[in-house]
């Protein structure tokens, strides 16, 4: 009898313990795992893969040591990130901080920042952020994000092997005709002129919308007309030239015989092999090659502008991965403190020093690590620069991979250049209609 | 009496509620959404009638070629898997005398490999420049046969079909082998006494007796082929261009781009194709079975 009673008591106690543990788990889950200690705040920061650099994680540790506020990085694969973020934002369960691509169209369409993000216009760092770049995080006159990304360093230019160019008596091309002649000369000498990783699906798209400044130079006001639905891509002769020339480069084997299977992660190896003349890459590519293959120095790699459609304009993309504070966060002040901490000059310089691919950050007084060649290119084109079309023109960026598939279909002969342009217009119209864009209303 | 009639219903009611809640209602609402412009770009959802279906069936769009690719994939994988699966099953049932279990395991092994692993293996085998297949072909002087297996739009879909068949043959073989082992041996003995040839025994005993198993594998292959996603996504992601795009990969892409109305419309069309094809296959095979 006593034993049975004891057994029952023990069983009841165990049940109570289980219930308590279950309740604790439930409370923990419902609070999103937030810290219980009154003096300890943990901010969740959700971002896409590659957007959070090691240097930022180190800065977050310093921030925690200084303020007691911890940052819990939730990094998702890039292919899933947008869907997961949208689900969280739409269900009212967003993280304290979230990453997103700036760009006025994306701010409104993809992130709905007026509803989901906190106004940061009066933050102390706002005045120090580059105006062109801050404008891409601004909607309705309010600044919503901190762009902590090397914008200028992510300018896509053609990196070339200086030794090969010197060996075959080539100079930096300034027109498509010169570029084609250089490619042919390299090909004739057994060198693959360009390493173009088409298999990734995104890289070969760069050759087109990145020429936005050239399109704008030939047809001033074109981006505005496209955004107002008063112009189209199809029928624009400069755009048609650019896409046709891209097709010609593929057909003439300038991209190599394996372009459709090549991936961007192989670009530095290809360049270091000495068997490839050029790669379309960002301005930090030389440093990356030297880092991966020390036998080739960054100084062995020169840069010039993409010469399709005779382009000689620097293609700046002022949009990039940006930090937003979720409007529904319970820790808005702590999140603001974190952004202010990141933007402090010594932390900006720390980030640049400790991120191999970052040449600079878009803040007044930030240091620069550009190679002399890249610096010379920027210096010589201070007036000849503009915004790329994936940022300047609405509904281009969301169809990036579709354009990639169309261009690949064009390479393989199942689509013509004019159809590629017409498809861009078609998808823009579909997206605009879905977004209830007044410019597309009947 | 009344309570007796309702007695079985009480056992299934819980499962029925779950089935209706988590399958029937979402499926019906999915079909309903296919008539809307629901997207991730606007909070408003408007009824657009048949617009999404018109887009899908328009010759100016690529969707018809995705339907064609899906049907082509299904057709060829059924043929290859069934023919080779049957051949292997016959070999293991009668032709091979020793190490039978070892062979069964070896042939079945690809089935248990994750599709992603299979795709990575085939990507490295079929790489045009450094792949094992082309290196081997070049090594024996057959340079002309070293083709861009995954990057030529004319052959990429067949490469995917080949990779998928390699993975799936073992599964079909096991089902057919089980079917073969249910055929009474005395039928073959009687046929032998009557002087029947090996072909006659196969044609008039094996095939008719195997018809139920063949029907199962055909239906399974049809359902699998029409819904195929993972091997295509991992091996080519629908490329080059749109050469290997199938309905399921396009549904995934439509949802990824926030085109939920269009995505559900493609899903509805796939559902319709599945129902019609499945019904036709079963009817044809039943008639064939009755005739035998």
Chain B residues lying within 8 Å of A412, measured CB to CB: 152-153, 240-241, 243
Q: Does the beta-carbon distance from B41 to A431 stay under 8 Å?
A: yes
Q: Which residues of A390-427 are buried (b: 16+ CB within 10 A; e: fewer)?
A: bbbbbbbbbbebbbbbbbbbbbbebbebbbbbbbbbbb
CATH number for the domain running over B33-291: 1.10.3720.10
pLDDT band at A358 (very low <50, low <70, confident <90, very high): confident
The confidence score (pLDDT) of residue A14 equals: 47
pLDDT band at A270 (very low <50, low <70, confident <90, very high): very high
Note the pLDDT tens digit of each residue in B243-276.
999 999 999 999 888 889 999 999 999 999 999 9
Q: What fold is seen in the domain A156-316+381-440?
A: D-Maltodextrin-Binding Protein; domain 2 (3.40.190)
Report yes or no: A95 and A332 within 8 Å, Cβ to Cβ: no
Taken in order A97, A102, A106, A112, is the CA torsion positive or negative?
positive
Q: HEC profile for B131-172? A: CHHHHHHHHCCCHHHCCCCCCCCCCHHHHHHHHHHHHHHHHH
Give CA separation, A337 vs A41, A61, A95, A125, A345, in Å.
12, 14, 16, 11, 15
The token duo for B170 is 């073992």
The confidence score (pLDDT) of residue A227 equals: 93
Q: Does the beta-carbon distance from A433 to B256 stay under 8 Å?
A: no
Q: Which residues of A13-42 are buried (b: 16+ CB within 10 A; e: fewer)?
A: eeeeeeeeeeeeeeeeeeeeebeeeeeebb
Note the pLDDT tens digit of each residue in A205-252.
999 999 999 999 999 999 999 999 999 999 999 999 999 999 999 999
The confidence score (pLDDT) of residue A288 equals: 87
Q: Does the beta-carbon distance from B148 to A260 stay under 8 Å?
A: yes
Q: HEC profile for chain B? A: CHHHHHHHHHHHHHHHHHHHHHHHHHHHHHHHHCCECCCCCCCCCCECCCHHHHHHHCCCCCHHHHHHHHHHHHHHHHHHHHHHHHHHHHHHHHHCCCCHHHHHHHHHHHHHCCHHHHHHHHHHHHCCCCCHHHHHHHHCCCHHHCCCCCCCCCCHHHHHHHHHHHHHHHHHHHHHHHHHHCCCHHHHHHHHHCCCCHHHHHHHHHHHHHHHHHHHHHHHHHHHHHHCCHHHHHHCCCCCCCCCCCHHHHHHHHHHCCCHHHHHHHHHHHHHHHHHHHHHHHHHHHHHHHHC
Give me the residue from A109, A261, A409 closest to B242, CB to CB: A409
The confidence score (pLDDT) of residue A20 equals: 44
The confidence score (pLDDT) of residue A34 equals: 42
Q: Does the beta-carbon distance from B37 to A433 stay under 8 Å?
A: yes
Note the pLDDT tens digit of each residue in A120-144.
999 999 999 988 889 999 999 999 9
The HSE-up count of residue A182 (CA atoms within 13 Å, CB side) is: 26
pLDDT band at B3 (very low <50, low <70, confident <90, very high): low
Q: How far is B140 from chain A (nearest CA, A)?
A: 21
**Mean local confidence (pLDDT), A322-343:** 96
DSSP at A264:
G
Q: How far is A143 from chain B (nearest CA, A)?
A: 21
Query: Which chain A residue has the Cα nearest residue B123?
Result: A261
Report yes or no: B35 and B47 within 8 Å, Cβ to Cβ: yes
Alpha carbon distance B170, B110 (integer Å): 7
Beta bridge partners of residue A323, listed in sequence order: A99, A146
Nearest 5°: the CA angle B189, B191, B193 is: 70
Residue/partner pairs of A174-177 with CB below 8 Å, 24 or more apart: A174/A304, A174/A307, A174/A310, A174/A312, A175/A307, A175/A310, A176/A241, A176/A245, A176/A307, A176/A308, A176/A309, A176/A310
Report yes or no: A326 and A112 within 8 Å, Cβ to Cβ: no
Chain A residues lying within 8 Å of B242, measured CB to CB: 405, 409, 414
**Mean local confidence (pLDDT), A379-398:** 88
Task: Give the count of beta carbons closer than 10 Å to the beta carbon of residue A216.
Answer: 21
Give CA separation, A37 vs A22, A45, A60, A400, in Å.
20, 19, 19, 45
Q: How far is A92 from chain B (nearest CA, A)?
A: 14
Does the pLDDT value for residue A261 go beyond 70? Answer: yes
Start-to-end CA distance of chain A, whole Å, equals 85
Q: Is A273 on the interface with B (CB under 8 A)?
A: no
The confidence score (pLDDT) of residue B291 equals: 67
DSSP at A49:
T
How is chain A split into domains, by residue range?
Answer: 41-149+319-366, 156-316+381-440
Task: Give the count of beta carbons closer than 10 Å to the beta carbon of residue A98.
Answer: 26
- Give the DSSP H/E element, type plus range, for residue A24: helix A2-30
Candidate from A101-115, A423-437, B228-242 with smallest mean pLDDT = A101-115
Q: Does the beta-carbon distance from A435 to B44 stay under 8 Å?
A: no
Report yes or no: A226 and A393 within 8 Å, Cβ to Cβ: yes
Q: How far is A271 from chain B (nearest CA, A)?
A: 17
**Mean local confidence (pLDDT), A250-279:** 94
Q: Tell how far CA B25 is from the center of its chain.
A: 26
**Mean local confidence (pLDDT), A23-50:** 62
Does the pLDDT value for residue B122 go beyond 60? Answer: yes
Q: Does the beta-carbon distance from A405 to B241 stay under 8 Å?
A: yes
Alpha carbon distance A393, A231 (integer Å): 11
Alpha carbon distance A360, A369 (integer Å): 6
- Is there a common fold for A41-149+319-366 and A156-316+381-440? yes
- Give the DSSP H/E element, type plus range, for residue A322: strand A321-325
**Mean local confidence (pLDDT), B31-36:** 94
The helix/strand/coil state of A363 is strand
The token duo for B212 is 């139920």
Nearest 5°: the CA angle A52, A54, A57 is: 75
Does the pLDDT value for residue A38 go beyond 80? Answer: no
Beta bridge partners of residue A74, listed in sequence order: A46
**Mean local confidence (pLDDT), A367-375:** 88
Computed over every residue of chain A, the mean pLDDT equals 89
Q: How far is A80 from chain B (nearest CA, A)?
A: 8
pLDDT band at A442 (very low <50, low <70, confident <90, very high): low
Does the pLDDT value for residue A30 go beyond 90? Answer: no
Instruction: Compute the radius of gyration of chain A from its Cα atoms.
Output: 26
pLDDT band at A23 (very low <50, low <70, confident <90, very high): very low
Instruction: Identify the residue among A48, A261, A413 best suited for mutation to test binding to B, counting B beta carbons within 10 A and taking the highest.
Output: A261
Does the pLDDT value for residue A98 go beyond 70? Answer: yes
pLDDT band at A31 (very low <50, low <70, confident <90, very high): very low
Pick the CATH number of A41-149+319-366 from 3.60.70.12, 3.40.190.10, 3.40.50.300, 3.30.413.10: 3.40.190.10
Report yes or no: A376 and A299 within 8 Å, Cβ to Cβ: no
Alpha carbon distance A46, A44 (integer Å): 6
Please state the ipTM of this predicted complex: 0.83
Note the pLDDT tens digit of each residue in A276-293.
999 999 888 998 899 899
Chain A residues lying within 8 Å of B259, measured CB to CB: 430, 434
Alpha carbon distance B39, A219 (integer Å): 33
CB contact set of A373 (below 8 Å; sequence gap of 6+): A286, A299, A301, A302, A303
DSSP per-residue letters across A125-168: TGGGB-HHHHGGGEETTEE-EEE-S-TGGG-EEEEEEHHHHHHT
Instruction: Identify the residue among B33, B36, B40 best suited for mutation to test binding to A, counting A beta carbons within 10 A and taking the highest.
Output: B40
Q: Does the beta-carbon distance from B40 to A86 stay under 8 Å?
A: yes
DSSP per-residue letters across A274-311: TSEEEEEEETTHHHHHHHH-TTS-GGGEEEE---GGG-
Closest CA to A45 of A53, A37, A363: A53
Closest CA to A272 of A255, A288, A284, A259: A288
Query: Which chain B residue has the Cα nearest residue A426?
Result: B61
The helix/strand/coil state of A73 is strand
Alpha carbon distance A71, A339 (integer Å): 12
Dmax (CA) of chain A: 102
pLDDT band at A182 (very low <50, low <70, confident <90, very high): very high
Q: Does the beta-carbon distance from B39 to A434 stay under 8 Å?
A: yes
Give CA separation, A334 vs A183, A327, A439, in Å.
54, 13, 40
């Amino acid at each position: 009898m006593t034993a049975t009673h004891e057994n029952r008591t023990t069983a009841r106690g165990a049940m109570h313990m289980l219930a308590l543990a279950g309740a604790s788990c439930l409370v923990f889950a419902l609070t999103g795992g937030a810290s219980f200690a009154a003096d300890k705040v943990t901010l969740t920061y959700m971002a896409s893969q590659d957007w959070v650099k090691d240097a930022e994680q180190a800065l977050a540790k310093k921030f925690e040591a200084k303020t007691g506020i911890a940052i819990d990085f939730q990094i998702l694969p890039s292919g899933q990130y947008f869907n997961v973020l949208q689900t969280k934002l739409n269900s009212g369960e967003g993280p304290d901080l979230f990453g997103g691509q700036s760009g006025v169209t994306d701010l409104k369409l993809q992130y709905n920042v007026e509803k989901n993000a906190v106004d940061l216009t009066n933050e102390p760092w706002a005045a120090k952020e580059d105006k062109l770049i801050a404008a891409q995080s601004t909607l309705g006159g309010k600044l919503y994000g901190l762009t902590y990304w090397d914008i200028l360093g992510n300018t896509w230019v053609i990196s070339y092997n200086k030794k090969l160019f010197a060996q075959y008596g080539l100079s930096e091309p300034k027109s498509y005709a010169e570029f084609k002649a250089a490619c042919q000369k390299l090909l004739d000498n057994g060198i693959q002129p360009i390493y173009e990783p088409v298999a990734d699906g995104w890289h070969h798209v760069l050759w087109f919308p990145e020429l936005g400044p050239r399109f704008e130079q030939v047809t001033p006001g074109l981006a505005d007309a496209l955004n107002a639905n008063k112009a189209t891509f199809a029928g624009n002769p400069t755009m048609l030239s650019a896409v046709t020339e891209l097709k010609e480069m593929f057909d003439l084997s300038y991209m190599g015989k394996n372009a459709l299977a090549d991936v961007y992660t192989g670009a530095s190896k290809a360049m270091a092999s000495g068997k490839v003349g050029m790669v379309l890459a960002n301005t930090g590519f030389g440093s990356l090659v030297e880092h991966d293959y020390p036998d080739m120095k960054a100084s062995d790699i020169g840069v010039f502008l993409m010469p399709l459609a005779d382009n000689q304009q620097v293609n700046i993309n002022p949009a990039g991965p940006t930090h937003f504070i979720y409007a529904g966060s319970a820790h808005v002040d702590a999140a603001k403190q974190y952004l202010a901490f990141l933007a402090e000059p010594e932390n900006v310089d720390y980030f640049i020093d400790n991120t191999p691919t970052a040449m600079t950050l878009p803040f007044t007084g930030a240091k620069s690590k550009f190679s002399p060649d890249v610096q010379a290119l920027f210096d010589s084109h201070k007036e000849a620069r503009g915004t790329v079309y994936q940022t300047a023109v609405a509904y281009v960026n969301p169809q990036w991979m579709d354009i990639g598939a169309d261009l690949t279909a064009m390479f393989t002969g199942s689509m013509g250049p004019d159809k590629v342009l017409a498809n861009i217009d078609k998808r823009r119209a579909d997206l605009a209609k879905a977004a209830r864009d007044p410019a597309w209303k009947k | 009496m009344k309570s007796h009639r309702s007695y079985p219903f009480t056992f299934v009611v819980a499962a029925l509620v779950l089935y209706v809640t988590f399958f029937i209602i979402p499926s019906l609402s999915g079909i309903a959404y296919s008539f809307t412009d629901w997207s991730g770009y606007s909070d408003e959802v408007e009824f657009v009638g048949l617009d999404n279906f018109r887009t899908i069936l328009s010759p100016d769009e690529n969707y018809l070629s995705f339907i064609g690719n899906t049907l082509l994939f299904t057709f060829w994988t059924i043929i290859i898997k069934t023919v080779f699966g049957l051949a292997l099953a016959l070999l293991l049932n009668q032709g091979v005398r020793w190490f039978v279990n070892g062979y069964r395991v070896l042939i079945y092994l690809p089935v248990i490999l994750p599709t992603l692993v299979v795709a990575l293996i085939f990507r490295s085998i079929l790489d045009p420049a450094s792949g094992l297949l082309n290196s081997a072909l070049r090594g024996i002087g057959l340079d002309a046969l070293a083709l861009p297996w995954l990057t030529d739009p004319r052959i990429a879909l067949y490469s995917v079909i080949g990779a998928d068949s390699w993975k799936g043959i073992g599964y079909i073989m096991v089902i057919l082998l089980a079917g073969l082992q249910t055929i009474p041996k005395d039928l073959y003995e009687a046929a032998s006494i009557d002087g029947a040839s090996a072909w006659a025994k196969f044609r008039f005993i094996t095939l008719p007796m195997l018809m139920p198993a063949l029907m199962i594998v055909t239906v399974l292959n049809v359902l699998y082929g029409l819904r195929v996603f993972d091997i295509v996504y991992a091996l080519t992601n629908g490329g080059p261009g749109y050469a290997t795009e199938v309905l399921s990969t396009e549904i995934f892409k439509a949802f990824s781009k926030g085109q939920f109305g269009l995505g559900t419309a493609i899903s509805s069309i796939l559902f319709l194709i599945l129902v019609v094809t499945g019904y036709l296959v079963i009817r044809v095979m039943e008639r064939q079975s009755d005739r035998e």
